[in-house]
C-alpha cells in the first residue's frame, strides 16, 4: 500500500489537486484541515481549542493532529487503497511521527509532491476562496466561481469564506508555513522522495504530472 504527501503553502492548491488525483485513483484523501474542521463542527472541547488556533492562523498541537491522523490511517479503506496526505506533516515533529506510524506497519512514505506559488498569488487565492459548508468543496470567486453565486455546484450547500481566509490570517499562515513547514522540503529532498510540481499550468495538466510523479499511471 502506498502513502503520498502533498506539501506546500496554504493556497497552493493541495485540496484541489487531491480531488483531481482521487478522480483517477482510489487513494484515500486524508486532509487534516478537513478533519480538524469536523472537530470544530462537533463543538467538542477539542474543537474549541482547534478553532482558536485555526482562526489565529497558527498550527494546532502536534500531538492532537497526529492522534487524528493515526486513527484515520488505521481504517481499512486506507489499508486497501493507500493514502494521500494533505496538510500533514506540517512540522518536523509530525514528519517523524508519520514515519513512526508507518514503520509500525512495515511501511514508509513513497513520494512527496511540493506545490508552490509566489506569495502575492497565494494571498490572492486564499482571500478569493469560498468553501462549501456542506461538502467542503472549494471555489474561487475569480477563477472557478460556482454556477449560482453562493451555492455549491456539487451538493447545493452554502458557500462561505473560511474564518482563516481573511487577508490578515492568510499572511500569518504563510509566515507559519515558511517557519515551521518549509524545513520539510530539505528533509524529504535529502531522502530522495521529493518532486517539485509546476502548478502554473492548466488544472488537468497539473493532475496528469502529479500522477506521473507518484508513479500512478
Ligand atoms: P491550508 O493548507 O489552506 O492552510 P488547511 O485546511 O490544510 O488549509 O489547514 C487549515 C488550518 O488547520 C491550519 O492553518 C492549521 O491551523 C490547522 N492544521 C491543518 N493541518 C495541520 C497540521 N498538520 N498540524 C497543525 N495544524 C494543522
Ligand atoms: Zn457542497
pLDDT digits (tens, 9 = 90+) for 56-97: 999 999 999 999 999 999 999 999 999 999 999 999 999 999
For 138, the enclosing helix (H) or strand (E) is strand 138-140
* Rounded (10°) angle between helices 45-55 and 62-73: 120
Tens digit of pLDDT for each residue in 108-166?
999 999 998 889 999 999 999 999 999 988 999 998 999 999 999 999 999 999 999 99
Q: Quick check: CB of 32 below 6 Å from ligand 1?
A: yes
Beta bridge partners of 131: 138, 160
Instruction: Please give the full DSSP string across 22-88, using - where no structure is assigned.
Output: HHHS--EEEEHHHHHHHHHHTT-HHHHHHHHHHHTT-PPPHHHHHHHHHHHHTSHHHHHH-EEEES-
Average pLDDT taken over every residue of the chain: 95
pLDDT at site 102: 97
Segment 180-203 shows an average pLDDT of: 94
In eight-state DSSP terms, residue 181 is: I
CA of 79 to the centre of ligand 1 (A): 24
**Nearest listed ligand to the Cα of residue 132:** 2
Q: Rounded to whole angstroms, what are the CA distances from 193 to 53, 86, 105, 205?
A: 31, 16, 19, 21
Position 166 scores a pLDDT of 94
The answer to whether residues 117 and 11 touch, using CB atoms and an 8 Å cutoff, is yes
The grid coordinates of residue 17 equal 489537486
SS3 category, 199: coil
Which cell goes with 153? 455546484
- The pLDDT > 70 percentage for the chain reads 100
pLDDT for 201: 84
Return the residue whose CA atom lies nearest to atom 18 of ligand 1. Answer: 33
Rounded Cα distance between 85 and 30, Å, is 5
Q: What is the pLDDT of residue 52?
A: 95
Mutate to test the pocket of ligand 1, among 60, 92, 114 (most ligand atoms within 8 A of CB): 60
Taking phi over 0 as left and psi of -120 to 50 as alpha, with beta for the rest, 87 belongs to: left
| Span from the CA of 189 to the centroid of ligand 2 (angstroms) | 36
- Grid cell at residue 126: 486564499
C-alpha torsion angle, residues 205, 109, 135, 132 (rounded to 10): -60
Q: Cα(23)–Cα(79) distance, rounded to whole angstroms?
A: 19
pLDDT at 20 over 90: yes
- The pLDDT of residue 216: 86
pLDDT at 217 over 80: no
Amino acid at each position: 500500500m502506498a502513502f503520498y504527501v502533498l506539501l506546500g503553502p496554504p493556497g497552493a492548491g493541495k485540496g484541489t489537486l487531491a480531488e483531481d488525483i482521487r478522480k483517477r485513483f482510489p487513494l484515500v484523501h486524508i486532509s487534516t484541515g478537513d478533519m480538524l474542521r469536523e472537530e470544530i463542527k462537533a463543538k467538542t472541547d477539542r474543537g474549541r481549542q482547534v478553532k482558536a488556533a485555526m482562526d489565529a492562523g497558527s498550527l494546532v498541537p502536534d500531538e492532537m493532529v497526529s492522534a487524528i491522523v493515526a486513527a484515520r490511517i488505521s481504517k481499512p479503506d486506507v489499508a486497501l487503497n493507500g493514502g494521500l496526505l494533505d496538510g500533514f506533516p506540517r512540522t518536523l515533529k509530525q514528519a517523524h511521527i508519520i514515519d513512526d506510524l508507518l514503520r509500525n506497519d512495515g511501511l514508509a512514505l513513497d513520494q512527496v509532491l511540493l506545490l508552490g506559488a509566489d506569495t502575492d498569488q497565494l494571498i490572492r487565492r486564499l482571500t478569493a476562496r469560498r468553501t462549501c459548508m456542506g461538502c467542503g468543496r472549494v471555489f474561487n470567486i475569480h477563477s472557478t466561481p460556482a454556477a449560482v453565486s453562493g451555492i455549491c455546484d456539487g451538493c447545493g450547500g452554502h458557500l462561505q469564506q473560511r474564518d482563516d481566509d481573511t487577508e490578515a490570517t492568510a499572511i500569518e499562515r504563510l509566515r507559519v508555513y515558511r517557519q515551521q513547514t518549509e524545513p520539510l522540503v530539505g528533509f524529504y529532498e535529502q531522502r530522495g522522495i521529493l518532486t517539485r510540481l509546476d502548478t502554473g499550468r492548466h488544472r488537468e495538466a497539473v493532475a496528469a504530472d502529479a500522477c506521473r510523479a507518484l508513479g500512478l499511471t
